[in-house]
Structures are given as structure tokens and as C-alpha cells.
Amino acid sequence: MSTLLELSGVSVSFDGFKAINNLSFQIGEPELRAIIGPNGAGKTTFMDIVTGKTKPDEGRIVFGEKNISLIGMSESKIAREGVGRKFQKPTVFEAQTVRENLAMALKNPRGPFEVLFYRKTKEGAERIEALAEQIGLTEELTRVAGELSHGQKQWLEIGMLLAQEPRLLLVDEPAAGMTPAEREKTTSMLVEAAKTRAVVVVEHDMEFVRRLNCKVTVLHEGSVLAEGSLDHVTQNPEVIEVYLGR
Amino acid sequence: MQRSFLAQNPSVMWFLAALGLFTVVVTLLAEGTGTALISTSFVKTLGKVLCLCLIAIAMDVVWGYCGILSLGHFAFFGIGGYSVGMWLMYARTEAIVETSMASSVIPPTSAEVQDAIAAQIFGVVGASEFPMIWMFSHSLVLQLLMVVLVPGLLALVFGWLAFRSRVTGVYLSILTQAMTLALALYLLQNDSGLRGNNGLSGLQNIPGFDDVPQSTISMVFFWASAAALGAGYVLFARVLSGKMGSVIRAVRDDEVRVRFLGYHVESYKLFVFTLTAIVAGIAGALYYPQAGIINPTEVAPIASIYLAVWVAIGGRGRLYGSVIGAAFVSLLASWFTGGGAPNINLGVYEILWTEWWLVLLGASFVAVTLFFPGGIGSLFDRLKGDAK
């Protein structure tokens, strides 16, 4: 397992508030990692920084074998480098069909003229079928995404992320608002995806994290408080203090 | 596995068929080519309406599909008109000057001819020399190139600056209004080189075709406008089909998400903005020879707002909807303001439609937005729904 993403000494503050404070973090490929932490620990800001939405004040972020720096790259460029992001709220294009949503996400050239003269291919169609199978939406391919249930939208979004073929997948609270059965299915999708790539799951729900059965990083006040197995970190007195002490 | 583009998009076929039928009917009834049931001036009105429909579909693409509420597309329309108008005025004045000088004893030098043309054209603003921007006005080809290049470049530069800074929503709309206002104010100056508030006139006289009656010229422009509308419709339907259309609509609905999919949203917006600006320029170049005159009020901010109103009433997000909206509202406007509608005398107050028409238009815009967001075009969806 080689290191795919490395953050070192990253800090960012908003109006004097240090959302991320000298954060260092590494993830390998393939790996499944959960990030937990109380509200305001900097979980979402961490994702914003990696995906280019927020520019860090200081620190280094390097990605891939060539150690390219992600700082200063546009969001779309970072996405093309192989970083996929799933938002907390399911964000699919509701006015378009499941197939159109997946087709847009398929790994293909992204320039306007390449897209304008893009021709549908047999491989593309097969890839969409395979993805739909994987996320359990084969029957829904021609339906408009807005008609899907909450859980189905979440899966469609995961399917779109897989279609991008990212090397690093950042997932923000995938289990929020799901039924127990839907959670189980989501867990297996994420575990499956993490066999071939790096997956970072940000989650509040300890039960869900336990099911992922992976290394856990605890964030607190913008930096890493503890790292290790879930049992290990939950026995850490500092972690207990942070979660229960107030 | 690829079916032809038209077979995949039956609405494009329907539109082309309807446009073709309309063109044939008008041709058969027109003064110049048929039974003279339709007067030449009304043929010109219809031809102008077709040009307005063309800029309306451009507006629909940029606003209804890509979500950029541009309130400045009439600036591009006006630039197209001015570009072709410069050649029309130059060439016609040249012909007049040459005729009047032909009788003089000593043949005039080309410098004298130039001076005489300049004096003719710019006398109204107290100038007698050709400004820089007229340097290509002697050449039809170059001026036609300007019809495409100037709106395209302006849109490219303006769009690049605005989209790069991620100006969106109402702020972008205000910026586009500022752009068209700036253009109007520039054109209003006498020393801008485009005859200030006099604008360019006599554009209905096509140089070299002085013997051809207006009834025939009006038909040629009518056909050209219909062809341009048909071509524009097919072009935009093609751009909006398939994956490109998917991405453009996705930018409208959630541009942040599109960015994280790896698409450079700004490039897509710039592409749509520039392409629609070019089409708007072409529409303007066909419109003003039929109108006969262009002046700075044509690119006043209100013109672009009317454009948005047409598209909203016709139904944005549907190409045919914007055509219906532009045709319906602009024909209605010429009926009301042209004295077609009888004024209503209430005894104490008389409703003059030339003034009250705008109130009616404003009220119907509000009503459509509140109660009927799909516009007139959505009626077709209901018909289709019933047929199933």
C-alpha cells in the first residue's frame, strides 16, 4: 500500500477562527478510512481543502506517485486528477434521467468541444449498465432522477462517483437519513469500492463506522486527535473527553 | 446504433415543417411574389419577427438551458445591425456620389470621392472624415465578418472576465445590463463615429439593386430570415442534444456539482454565451436592413429585458417556446402600439393602448411567472400528455 494523499501542516482560518490547525494526514491506496469528530472539528473543511473549494493558508497537499500539489488547482482539475467527492445532501441532477446522470460522470474527456462532438460508444453503454447493476438502479435507468427515493439518490451519486473512476473518494455522511436496510447496502458499496481505491468516509454515526471496520481518524479543533482502530480510539481518554466531557 | 440527429429529435422536424409551411404561405400571399394579400410592409414585419425569434432561441439557450440570465444580448444584436449597416450606408452613398460627380468636367480623384462620401454620411454630426471603425466599410465581406467577430469577441472577453470571477445570478444580469447600457451611451456620442443618435439609416436600400422593388427585396430578406431561424434552431438543438446538453442543463441546476464531476464550468458558460452572442449578431444583421434604420436606442437596456420577457412568456427551456413567445408578443406589441387595438373610452379616462400596452405586458409577465411558469410552450407538453 503506497501513500496516495498526504497533507502536512495544513492550516486554514475563517475570520480568525482556525477551522483546520496544522493538520497532517495520510491515506494509502487502496484503503478505507473513517473520519469522525464532534461538530466543528473541521471534517467538512478538510474535504473542501482537498477538493480545492477552500484554499489553505499554509501547508502542503500532495497527491499520487508524482507528488503533484493540489494547492491552487481548480476544483474541476482536481476532480480530473482523480479525486471524487460525495456531498452530505444527495446532489444528483434531478431534471435528468439516471442514465444521463451516469453518462455525464463517466470518465471521458471533459472539454466543451470534446463533449460537443462526443459520440456514444458501446463500451460507455456497457459501463453504464454495469454501474447501474452495482448500485441497484438497473430498472430505473430511464427514470428522471428527481423521482428516486432518498436512498436511491444517494446510491446514484455513489454510482456517479464510481463512474468517474477516482483514485480517492471523499464521502460526507453517506448514511444520513437512511433506513437500516439502505445503510447496509451503502456499507457494502463503500467497502467494495475501497478494495481498489482510497475511500475516506466522514461520519457522525458510530454504529455505521463500526460496520465499515476500518482505521479511524478522530479530528478535533482542526487537527488529528487520535488514529487507529475504532476500539482503540474510543478507549483513548482524550477522545472520550472530547465526545462526552462537555 | 446511431440514429440520425433529426430522427432522434422529432420536435426539430415539426418546427422545420411549420416554419417551411409558414414561409410558403407568406410567399404565396405576399405583394412581391403572390396574391398581394400581404403588404410589403407587413412582409417586413414578419421578416423582422423571424429575426427576433432567432435571438429569442439564443436567449433561451443561454438562460433557459444554461441558467445565465443575460440581460445584454440585444447589444450583440445591435452590433450585428451596425456592422452590416455600415457597408449598406457606405456603398449606397458611394453610388450616389459617383453618379452626381460623373457629370463634372474633370473626373474626380478617389480622394475627392472619399471626402464626398464622408461629408454625406457624417454631415449630420458635423464631421467630414471617416473614423477608424469605418476602415472596412467598403467591403461587404469584411463587414459580414464583423457581424460574427465583433459580438463573438465582445462576448468572449466579457464572459471570460465575468465567469472567471464566478459572478453569477442577479449580479451577472446587472453586469450584462451595464454592458449594453455602456454600448448605447458610447453609440450616442456624436464622435463615436457611428452618427450618434441619428444612427444609420436608409438600410432598406440595397446597393446595386436600386431597380429591384422593395416588394421583392422584402421577400429575399424574409426568406433569408426564415432560413437563418431554421439553421439556428437546428444548430442549438444539436448543441443541446446528447452529452453537451446534459452538461449545459446540469450547469444550470447545480454548477458546484458539475465542477466536482471534473467539468470546467466556466468554459461551458463561455462557450454558450459566445455562441449565442454570435447568433444574436447574425439575427441583428438580418433585422436592420428590414427595419431600415438602426440607432442607439435599439441597444438600450430595456430591449434586452423585453427579450427575457418574450422567452419567459413563451416558455424557457423549450426552443419552440421561445419562438412562440417572441412571435406572439412582438406581433401583439406592433398591433397595440400601431393603433390596431381600439382605445377604450371610460368617460373620465381613455385607455390609450400605445401607453397601456406596456402595463398589460408587465402584468402578463408577472402572471406567467407566478401561475404559469412553463409559459405558452408548456401547452404543447399538456397536449402530448393527453395523447399518450
Place of cell 433569408: B224
Name the maximum alpha-carbon separation found in chain A: 59
Residues in chain B closer than 8 A to A85 (CB atoms): 260
CA distance A103 to B243: 8
**What are the backbone angles phi and psi of residue A72, rounded to the nearest 5°?**
90, -5
ipTM score of complex: 0.89
Angle at B194 between CA B190 and CA B196, to 5 degrees: 35
Of the residues A77, A98, A110, the best mutation for testing chain B's interface (the one with the most B CB atoms within 10 Å of its CB) is A110
CA distance B369 to B388: 28
**Residue A13 belongs to what H/E stretch?**
strand A2-14
CA distance B215 to B36: 10
> Are residues B244 and A112, on separate chains, in Cβ contact within 8 Å?
yes
> Are residues A79 and B1, on separate chains, in Cβ contact within 8 Å?
no
**What are the backbone angles phi and psi of residue A208, rounded to the nearest 5°?**
-65, -40
Residue B355 buriedness (CB in 10 A; 0-12 / 13-18 / 19+): exposed
Nearest CA in chain A to B237: A116
* pLDDT above 90 as % of chain B: 66
The answer to whether B2 contacts chain A (CB < 8 Å) is yes
Reading chain B (388 residues) residue by residue, the pLDDT tens digits are 445 677 778 889 999 999 999 999 999 999 878 888 899 999 999 999 999 999 999 999 999 999 999 999 999 999 999 999 999 999 999 999 988 888 777 888 888 888 899 999 998 888 888 888 999 999 999 999 999 999 999 999 999 999 999 999 999 999 999 999 999 999 999 888 899 999 999 999 999 888 899 999 999 999 999 999 999 999 999 999 889 999 999 999 999 999 999 999 999 999 999 999 999 999 999 999 999 999 999 999 999 999 999 999 998 889 999 999 999 999 998 888 887 778 888 888 888 888 888 898 899 889 888 888 888 888 877 776 654 3
CA distance A41 to A20: 8
Q: Is the dihedral of CA B211, B212, B215, B217 positive or negative?
A: negative
pLDDT digits (tens, 9 = 90+) for B77-108: 999 999 999 999 999 999 999 888 887 778 88
> Are residues B244 and A116, on separate chains, in Cβ contact within 8 Å?
yes
Reading chain A (246 residues) residue by residue, the pLDDT tens digits are 688 999 999 999 988 888 899 999 999 988 999 999 888 888 889 999 999 999 999 999 999 988 899 998 999 999 999 999 988 888 899 999 999 999 999 998 899 999 998 888 889 999 999 999 988 899 999 999 999 998 899 889 989 999 999 999 999 888 888 888 888 888 988 999 999 999 999 987 888 888 898 999 999 988 899 999 988 988 888 888 887 664
> Are residues A111 and B271, on separate chains, in Cβ contact within 8 Å?
no
**Contact at 8 Å (CB) between B221 and B290?**
yes
CA distance B169 to B143: 34
CA distance B44 to B50: 10
Is A199 in a helix, a strand, or coil?
strand
> Are residues A87 and B247, on separate chains, in Cβ contact within 8 Å?
no
Considering CB atoms only, which of A74, A85, A95 is closest to B264?
A74
> Are residues A91 and B246, on separate chains, in Cβ contact within 8 Å?
no
- Return the C-alpha cell found at A102: 451516469
Residue type, A239: V
**Residue A238 belongs to what H/E stretch?**
helix A237-244
Q: Give the residue from B314, B358, B245, B291 showing the smallest Cα distance to B56.
A: B314
Place of cell 445591435: B78
DSSP β-ladder status, A68-69 and A83-86: unpaired
Nearest CA in chain B to A76: B262
Residue A244 buriedness (CB in 10 A; 0-12 / 13-18 / 19+): exposed
A83 min Cα distance to partner chain B (Å): 8
pTM: 0.92
Is A1 in a helix, a strand, or coil?
coil
What's residue B385's pLDDT? 60
CA distance B274 to B239: 13
Q: What sections of B292-352 are H helices per DSSP?
A: 301-314, 319-337
Place of cell 460627380: B101
The answer to whether B259 contacts chain A (CB < 8 Å) is yes
A118 min Cα distance to partner chain B (Å): 7
Residues in chain B closer than 8 A to A93 (CB atoms): 246, 249-250, 253-254, 257
**Contact at 8 Å (CB) between B197 and B295?**
yes
**What are the backbone angles phi and psi of residue A36, rounded to the nearest 5°?**
-120, 170
**Residue A21 belongs to what H/E stretch?**
strand A17-29
What's residue B1's pLDDT? 40
A152 min Cα distance to partner chain B (Å): 18
- Asked if omega into A30 is within 30° of 0 (cis), the reply is yes
Place of cell 410592409: B41
What's residue B384's pLDDT? 67
> Are residues B262 and A79, on separate chains, in Cβ contact within 8 Å?
yes
